[in-house]
Amino acid sequence: MKSAACCPCPVNAGSGRPPSAVRLAGSGRSQTGVALITVLLIVFLASVTATSLAALQQIAIRRSTVLQHQQQARLYTLAIEQWAALVLARDSQQNETDHLHEEWANASSVLPVKDGVLSAQLRDLQGCFNLNNLWQSASSASAADSEDANPDANPDANPENTSKDAKDPAKSRQDPQAAAKEGVTPKNPSSAQSASDLDQDEVKGKARLNQAQYQVFQRLLSALELKPELAQAIVDWIDPDQDPIFPDGAEDSDYNVLTPAYLAANRPLSSVTELRLIKGMDQNAYDKLAPLVCALPSKTPLNVNTAPAQVLAALAEGKDSKEMEQLLKNRPAEGYKNVDEFLNAAELTVDATLKNQLSVATQHFLLRAEARVGDGRAMLYSTLYRTKNGVRALRRSFGNQD
């Protein structure tokens, strides 16, 4: 039997309270502290959550407001397109010529609307050199043949100035010296499509190179201090065959060895920016050429009332742009009434084929419409095509021109 002296004394033996009571009192204070911390934590989390929800709600409200403004601005640009169509339709009823002093050309006005502002600008797309004119499709070639076969269609045409060889590539191909004189090198006979096949197509009046436009384009390249041979690669990009023009043309075989590889389009250019893909076209050449050329979907005449001096100077050999700039300063306020009036004023002599590809009127226009509404902004580039039956949009691009 153990004695009391040999038993270990409890720690709180002298406090007078049982040990279990001491433990309960300490536990109560600890639980109170934990509960307080828990409540504070819950309040903190609730505050953070509420703040986050409020911030998210603000962002959602802001986002929906911007989207609403952007949508409204986008609709405004389509309304501007309708307005531009009305202006162009009204212009066609007033006169048959188009020049830079007409209402459509000076429509760059700013119109205030509720919570925003609208602006519009119309540009004549036939005042630039249409690259797709370099290649005549089968239908346009047939039309050209009809015009050439019917001298009454153009009583001013001088048969002496009309180069039959220039309009007949098959004949030019048979006579390399004549072709070189025309500034066009015949296709390489060793290519995939035989010369006889090409000749047969051309004899039938099918698609072919537009010699008159080709020479104008070569002169334009020379005036810009670019290689005239660039024209060959551009024609090869457009023409449907795989037959590169010798020596600087380029077809699939020139492009599919690049990284990344691609193929020649073999169809009309859909955008001027497509030039960047063509062999020999570097940034310097593109920067010089792009402001003066365009890529319209069909064969279009050049409007001499809106064309810049560089393009007009390229119409004939021996003219420079400074001479044409002086001419443009003295251009009648109402524009030239017809092509002959322009040719006389410019002292230009062009053959009947090229003369038939000049005009004083325009069917293709580019609309640049911009709308700002609150925080929203929309930009629309629209290619408008005007006929006697009205105006319609051929192409729309929101945000950028191409």
Site residues for Ca ion per CB under 5 A: 91, 95, 98, 102, 236, 239, 264, 266
In this complex, which beta carbon is closest to Ca ion, that of residue 264 or of residue 391?
A: 264
Angle formed at CA 241 by CA 149 and CA 166, multiple of 5 degrees? 30
In this complex, which beta carbon is closest to Ca ion, that of residue 353 or of residue 359?
A: 359
CB of 107 to Ca ion, least distance (A): 13
CB of 97 to Ca ion, least distance (A): 6
CB of 236 to Ca ion, least distance (A): 5
CB of 122 to Ca ion, least distance (A): 11
In this complex, which beta carbon is closest to Ca ion, that of residue 47 or of residue 253?
A: 253
In this complex, which beta carbon is closest to Ca ion, that of residue 73 or of residue 384?
A: 384
CA distances from 266 to 20, 234, 235, 277 (A): 98, 10, 9, 13
In this complex, which beta carbon is closest to Ca ion, that of residue 76 or of residue 214?
A: 214
CB of 105 to Ca ion, least distance (A): 9
- Residue tagged 């699939």 (tokens): 252
352-385: buried (b, 16+ CB within 10 Å) or exposed (e) per residue? bbbbbbbbbbbbbbbbbbbbbbeebbbbbbbbbb
In this complex, which beta carbon is closest to Ca ion, that of residue 73 or of residue 88?
A: 88
CB of 314 to Ca ion, least distance (A): 24
On whether the CB atoms of residues 229 and 248 are closer than 8 A, the answer is yes
On whether the CB atoms of residues 384 and 80 are closer than 8 A, the answer is no
CB of 135 to Ca ion, least distance (A): 9
Helices 230-238, 211-223: axis angle to 10 degrees equals: 140
On whether the CB atoms of residues 12 and 22 are closer than 8 A, the answer is yes
How many Å apart are CA 293 and CA 365, to the nearest integer?
A: 14
- Residue tagged 């609730």 (tokens): 46
The verdict on whether omega for the bond into residue 247 sits within 30 degrees of 0, i.e. cis, is: yes
- Residue tagged 């660039």 (tokens): 230
Structure token digits, residue 247: 């020596």
147-184: buried (b, 16+ CB within 10 Å) or exposed (e) per residue? ebeeeeebeebeeeebbebbbbbbebbeeeebbeebeb
In this complex, which beta carbon is closest to Ca ion, that of residue 321 or of residue 359?
A: 359
Structure token digits, residue 302: 């050049």
Beta bridge partners of 365: 124, 384
CB of 305 to Ca ion, least distance (A): 9
Q: Which one-letter DSSP state was computed for residue 226?
A: -
CB of 233 to Ca ion, least distance (A): 10
How many Å apart are CA 364 and CA 303, to the nearest integer?
A: 10
In this complex, which beta carbon is closest to Ca ion, that of residue 116 or of residue 268?
A: 268
In this complex, which beta carbon is closest to Ca ion, that of residue 98 or of residue 274?
A: 98
